[in-house]
Amino acid sequence: MNTLQSTRVAAIEAIDSLMEKDPRIAMVFADSVKVFRAAELVKKYPDRCFDVGIAEQNAVTVAAGMASSGLKPIVATYAGFLTMRACEQIRTFVAYPRLPVIFLGANGGIAGGEREGVTHQFIEDLGIARTLPSMSVVSPADAYETHQAVLNAAKQDGPVYIRIGSGRDPVFFEQPYSFEWGKAHIVLEQNPEDVVIFATGGFLLHRCWQAIERLNTEGFRVSLLNIHTLKPLDADTVGKFLKRAGAAVTVEDHTVIGGLGSAIAEAASEQFPVPLIRLGLQDTFAESGEAEALLDAYGMGVPDICDAVKKVLQRKG
């Protein structure tokens, strides 16, 4: 059993430290204070925390107005209600004028869905956010990386979408590492490797790590890259590993259309085309269930990762 630490709490702690230093940072909630465990933050900064109720389009557009008038707002609510219900507001009123608004989307992925089922499991958010010009897209792997992502997002000039989880998120980084915005994080480099795995988001680095341990005992050499920043993608590092490995697997708790798998496929086809297998939701919705069980049931289990590595290796030629 992995240690759990809430990505939601980590995000709010980072925001607290930002608000302490920068009077321009404001929060906009859509009846999501409780979701984000942010009651203490609201109490501490009552004049800079706003809750517009269950009205995500309004939350985003109010934030756009704030950012047009000197503030740096952060909108925090569920990932899908942001990127789908308020998609146009994010696109036209924040991304188009390149305003410095940070979006925090909770319940990213089927593992982040709190057993609520499809309505609250968001598997399209990264793809939607990635298509918007000027939008940066970050998908942190755990609480530590979420904290780093929020601190770094506040340094950007334009809008940022950060996907976070359910609040019951396994810790992967027990020790801090040097998080670099827009850079792929090399978790494991086995030079030269047979296959490179690219992963993003919560729960999955553990699974990839276990798969690689298994594969190593069978004689396969596999490198693991954590792509926390999907956009801008670190095309140099991705290209370097694709070229050297000659085969790749992507693992994401997201539909394989539009997210990490697509981003890597795009980078590969432009730089160094290699055989690629994309693990994630295969153009399907999921269902209610416990996080780890859902990932196993929908093709993101340790055996699925091992199989994908072996299959893609066969296609390497």
Partner 1 sequence: MKECQIKKEIIGALESHARQIRKDVVTMIHQSGDGHPSPALSIADIIAALYFHVLNIDPQNPEKPDRDRVVLSKGHACTALYSALARRGFFPLSELPKFRSLHSILQGHPYQRKTPGLDATTGSLGHGVSLGLGMVLAGRVQGYSYFTYVIIGDGEQEEGLIWEAAMAAVKYRAGRLIVLADCNGLQSGGKIEEVGGIVPIQPKWEAFGWHCQTIDGHNMEAILSALLQAQQVEETPSIILARTIKGKGVPFMENNNEWHKKVPTKEELELALSALGG
The residues that touch partner 1, with contacts defined as CB under 8 A, are 23, 26, 47-48, 50, 52-53, 55, 57-58, 61-71, 73, 88-89, 92-93, 96-98
Cβ closer to partner 1: 58 or 190? 58
Nearest approach, Cβ of residue 61 and partner 1 (Å): 3
Structure tokens at 85: 């219900």
Beta partners for residue 198, in sequence order: 225, 250
Handedness of CA 200, 203, 204, 205 (dihedral sign): positive
Please provide the distance, in angstroms rounded to a whole number, between the alpha carbons at the two ends of the chain.
Answer: 39
Cβ closer to partner 1: 91 or 278? 91
Nearest approach, Cβ of residue 52 and partner 1 (Å): 4
Cβ closer to partner 1: 52 or 79? 52
Nearest approach, Cβ of residue 86 and partner 1 (Å): 9
Q: 70 with 104: CB under 8 angstroms? A: no
Nearest approach, Cβ of residue 92 and partner 1 (Å): 5
Cβ closer to partner 1: 96 or 272? 96
Q: 291 with 300: CB under 8 angstroms? A: no
Nearest approach, Cβ of residue 163 and partner 1 (Å): 24
Structure tokens at 122: 């968001």
With tokens 């909770």, the residue in question is: 106
Cβ closer to partner 1: 92 or 119? 92
Cα gap 180→68, rounded to integer Å: 28
Structure tokens at 144: 């530590």
